[in-house]
Amino acid sequence: MAPTASDSAPVEFHFDPMGRTEDLRRYSPGGYHPVVVGNTFDQDMTLPDNQRRYRILHKLGYGSYATIWLARDQASNAFVALKVTTAESSRAEMREARMLRQLAGAAEGPSTHILTLCDQFSVQGPNGLHHILATEVVVPLLTVLRPETSPRWRKSAARALASGVAHMHASGIKHGDLHLGNLGCAFPELAQQSEDDVMQDLDPYDITVVLPCNPEEQTPSLPAYVLSACNLGEYCRRIRLPERDPDIRILDFGNARFADDPASDIQCAEEACAPEVAFARVALHESKPAWGPPSDIWALGAAIYEIVSGSSLFYGVGIGEGLLDRMVALTGSVPVRWQTFWQSRHARRDIGHSSDSSHEAVDREWARRRDRLREKCADDADVDRLVALLRRILVLEPEKRPTIDEVVQDPWFQVGDNIAAPAA
């Protein structure tokens, strides 16, 4: 059996990055590739360092299955983001690249709201074979969405997101993990900056030396140090031209599948977890629940709510019975296929009907949500149209949700701020 990131991992280090970086123990066979500033990468890694195409400048972020780096394409002098996967997840990242290529080559043309893939290749390292995606640099949406962000900007971002989903679905692809953590904003102003200016204005390097307590565990699997991610959103605010409408990008297609692929081992955040997926996981204990484009529609509704209100409907709940409770509180009706589980759950917990899902209770819940949304909408008519849209989208039965074409034609997107709808 091939080694994995959990095998023979160093247990203790002299210096702890205290949650500011990826888990140091994942620098082991099957895990992260050891990357440091100044490293160079190329499809042909036999080239001398100074002839390889991509040079690492700073860290942009990390996740469970990859580290992401700001790099310079020395062939074009463009800035790019390099996503360097863990060895054990390379298959998923190859699927992501395939989906991005499919979307870029769609019959109706590429969408401006899907992340642009520039290059892809693999490198062999001490921890295994790692897939690398070179993409355009985007700013995480969560870092630029501020309390003072205007209603116009918020609606434009929501509209652009819906446009990107429309392109995905028209291309026969479903995303599976659509939430604000997987959204970014294009940053064309970065191309106007020199490398010297960028490196001076970005956050200084915050370095933690990687030194195992046991000298025998100082192996090539480990980098010499790990680096905290720079705050690209703050840098963007410092150098950006006057505020313009957001140019949204949908990211992270590692969960994406073709629309006619009925079931998969979907790994999604609770904010993006549709009721049919949550119910299959929690009540039926299915590891590969069936899901489809309507699952993206639910996630889109939750994302629109968060873009406008600044707060999440489901973050922190976890994918469990509490998530199902919150979903029912928004909709008021339990699907027929949920009834047996729902009744046994209430009997098991001796709670009777204390989870009030009456129409009156749901109306009260949405009245409370409306008050929160009103602070970020243009006027009363605008928030009423938005609540009507969200209540159309956030229904438990996938077959009762609107299609993405129906969503983008909704009055909330068409009325209220005189912004022309962005091209798909």
The closest alpha carbon to 305, from 243, 386, 231, belongs to 386
Query: Is residue 267 situated within a structural domain?
Result: no
The β-bridge relationship of strands 138-140 and 207-209 is unpaired
**CA separation, residue 296 to residues 138, 145, 268 (Å):** 22, 22, 11
User: Do 59 and 191 sit in the same domain of this protein?
Assistant: yes
Question: Final residue of a domain: which of 224, 242, 257?
Answer: 257
State the DSSP string of 103-165. Answer: HHT-TT---TTBPPEEEEEEEEETTEEEEEEEE--EEEHHHH--TT--HHHHHHHHHHHHHHH
Q: Which of 257, 292, 312 is the last residue of a domain?
A: 257
- Report if residue 276 sits inside a domain: no
Whether residue 114 is contained in a domain is answered as: yes
> Do 377 and 247 fall within a single domain?
no
Residues 299 and 226 in one domain: no
Residues 233 and 381 in one domain: no
Residue 17, domain member (yes or no) = no
Residue 424 pLDDT greater than 80, yes or no:
no
Q: Would 392 be classed as within a structural domain?
A: yes
Contact 322, 282 (CB under 8 A): no
Amino acid occupying residue 280 = A
Judge whether 215 lies within some domain: yes
Query: Of 15-19, 107-111, 129-133, 185-189, which gets the smallest average pLDDT?
Result: 107-111
Q: Which tens digit of pLDDT belongs to each residue from 93-150?
A: 788 999 999 999 876 667 789 999 999 999 999 999 999 999 999 999 999 898 999 9
For residue 158, what are the domain limits? 24-257
The tokens for 126 are: 């001490």
Q: What is the pTM of this model?
A: 0.90
**Domain co-membership, 75 together with 199:** yes
| Distance set, CA 317 to CA 86, 180, 269, 322 (Å) | 28, 16, 10, 6
Q: What is the DSSP code (8-state) at residue 336?
A: G
Neighbour-count burial of 64, counting CB atoms closer than 10 A to its CB (0-12 exposed, 13-18 middle, 19+ buried): exposed
266 vs 311 pLDDT, higher one: 311
For residues 134 and 79, what is the distance between their CA atoms, to the nearest angstrom? 10
Q: Which two structure tokens, joined as six digits, stand for 368?
A: 């409370």
What is the pLDDT, as a whole number, of residue 163?
Answer: 96
Beta bridge partners of residue 73, listed in sequence order: 54, 78
The predicted pLDDT at position 262 comes to 73
Mark whether 205 and 57 lie in a shared domain.
yes
The reply to whether 83 sits in an annotated binding site is: yes
Q: Do 102 and 202 sit in the same domain of this protein?
A: yes
| The pLDDT of residue 78 | 96
Dist CA 106 CA 94 (whole Å):
18
Phi-psi group of 30: left, alpha or beta (phi > 0 → left; psi -120 to 50 → alpha; rest → beta): left
Clarify whether residues 308 and 242 are in a common domain.
no
- Same domain, yes or no, for 192 and 90? yes
Total domain count, the chain: 2
> Would the pLDDT of 2 be above 50?
no
Position 152 pLDDT exceeds 80: yes
Question: How far apart, in whole angstroms, are the C-alpha atoms of residue 331 and residue 396?
Answer: 7
Supply the pLDDT for residue 8.
54
Calculate ∠ Cα 315-304-279, nearest 5°.
Answer: 50
d(CA 62, CA 64): 7
**61 within some domain:** yes
Residue 43 has pLDDT above 70, yes or no: yes
Q: In the predicted model, is pLDDT for residue 223 greater than 60?
A: yes
- Residue pair 58/37 in contact by the 8 Å Cβ criterion: yes
Query: Are 192 and 294 contained in the same domain?
Result: no
Q: pLDDT class for 420, splitting at 50, 70, 90?
A: very low
Is residue 289 domain-shared with residue 202, that is, in the same domain? no
User: Residue 396: inside a domain, yes or no?
Assistant: yes
Do 330 and 301 contact (CB within 8 A), yes or no?
A: no
- Together in a domain, 73 and 132: yes
CATH code for the domain in which residue 402 is found: 1.10.510.10
Q: For 171-312, where are the alpha helices, taking DSSP H only? A: 195-201, 232-239, 275-282, 293-309
- Choosing from 257, 290, 305, the residue where a domain stops is 257
- Could you give the residue ranges of the DSSP H alpha helices within 221-358? 232-239, 275-282, 293-309, 321-331, 339-349
Query: What is residue 11's predicted lDDT score, i.e. its pLDDT?
Result: 63
